[in-house]
């Protein structure tokens, strides 16, 4: 199983949109587990889950197994562990290593080909739990000045966290989102990221498509849509690029 953590401390940078569409896109290639670690629960809504009715992924911090939080979704190959909306990370003194422990004890890797984790716009214990199981960290960013600053901050935080915990850093890729090729600020921001982190770290951009916002109303990710759309095309290409990166990684 390969685990992709979608993360950016900056709010509103399309983490959830990316997590949901990558998860459902990967579900065309194998079995996928989507973990909604953000208590806003937007990824859960994105795959058609009614948030009030279930245990959630955060229940593992109260001694539940991960598997008992699993629920089916709109796609047979896509399993969700939804968010627990009322969970508060600050009620707990030590949450380290819990997800990693559940993965190991429940042999989660035997049941899924891919795991995608949506994370909150914070660098807290939830993100740290996710990083402990990550093969790839994907940082979506809106190509504006503050978006570029946020990518730099994320990169530094990821390297610091890896060295603090003496852990190998997962491979990091950067995904420009809501990109408009006619806006100079967008093109310049992409250049800055390329210069700072290297061309190989940058995935092809996702353009603006209002269908990517509307999909949350129907609970059906655009990558499961049969109608052609820009969002479908862009995220399908993104999934192919991630699969290629995973193949190189072995």
Candidate residues 16, 59, 73, 223; the one interacting with Mg ion per rule CB under 5 A = 16
Residue from 6, 25, 2 nearest 215 by CA: 25
Using the rule CB under 5 A, give the single segment among 38-46, 49-57, 105-113, 159-167 that binds Mg ion.
38-46
Site for ligand ATP in 162-221 (CB under 6 A): 177-178, 206, 208-210, 212-213
Residue 14 site contact among ligand ATP, Mg ion, none (CB < 5 to 8 Å, cut-off depends on kind): ligand ATP
Q: Which is nearer to Mg ion, 42 or 102 (CB)?
A: 42
Q: Within 13 A of 28's CA, how many CA atoms are on the CB side?
A: 15
Candidate residues 1, 3, 5, 13; the one interacting with ligand ATP per rule CB under 6 A = 13
Q: Within 13 A of 88's CA, how many CA atoms are on the CB side?
A: 3
CA distances to 59, 114, 154, 243 from 246, rounded to whole Å, are 30, 10, 21, 5
Using the rule CB under 5 A, give the single segment among 9-17, 86-94, 174-182, 193-201 that binds Mg ion.
9-17
Q: Using CB under 5 A, count the residues that bind Mg ion.
A: 3
Q: Which is nearer to ligand ATP, 99 or 222 (CB)?
A: 222
Concatenating the DSSP letter of every residue in 55-99 gives --GGGGGGT--SGGG-EE-SSTTEEEE---TT--GGG-S--TTHH
Q: Which residues bind Mg ion (CB under 5 A)?
A: 15-16, 42
């Amino acid at each position: 199983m390969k685990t992709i953590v979608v993360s950016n401390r900056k709010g509103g940078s399309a983490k959830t949109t990316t997590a949901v569409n990558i998860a459902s896109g990967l579900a065309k290639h194998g079995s996928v587990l989507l973990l909604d670690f953000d208590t806003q629960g937007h990824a859960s809504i994105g795959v058609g889950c009614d948030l009030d009715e279930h245990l959630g992924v955060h229940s593992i911090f109260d001694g539940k197994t991960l598997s008992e939080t699993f629920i089916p979704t709109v796609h047979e190959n896509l399993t969700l562990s939804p968010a627990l909306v009322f969970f508060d990370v600050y009620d707990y003194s030590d949450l380290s290593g819990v997800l990693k422990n559940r993965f190991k004890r429940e042999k989660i890797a035997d049941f899924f080909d891919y795991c995608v984790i949506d994370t909150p716009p914070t660098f807290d214990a939830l993100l740290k739990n996710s990083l402990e199981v990550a093969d790839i960290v994907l940082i979506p960013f809106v190509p504006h000045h503050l978006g570029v600053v946020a990518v730099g901050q994320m990169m530094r935080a990821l390297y610091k966290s890896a060295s603090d915990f003496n852990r190998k850093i997962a491979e990091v890729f950067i995904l420009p989102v809501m990109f408009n090729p006619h806006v100079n600020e967008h093109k310049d921001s992409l250049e800055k990221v390329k210069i700072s982190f290297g061309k190989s770290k940058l995935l092809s951009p996702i353009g603006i498509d209002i269908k990517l916002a509307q999909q949350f109303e129907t609970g059906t990710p655009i990558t499961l849509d049969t109608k052609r759309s820009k969002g479908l095309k862009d995220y399908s290409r993104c999934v192919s690029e991630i699969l290629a990166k995973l193949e190189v990684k072995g």
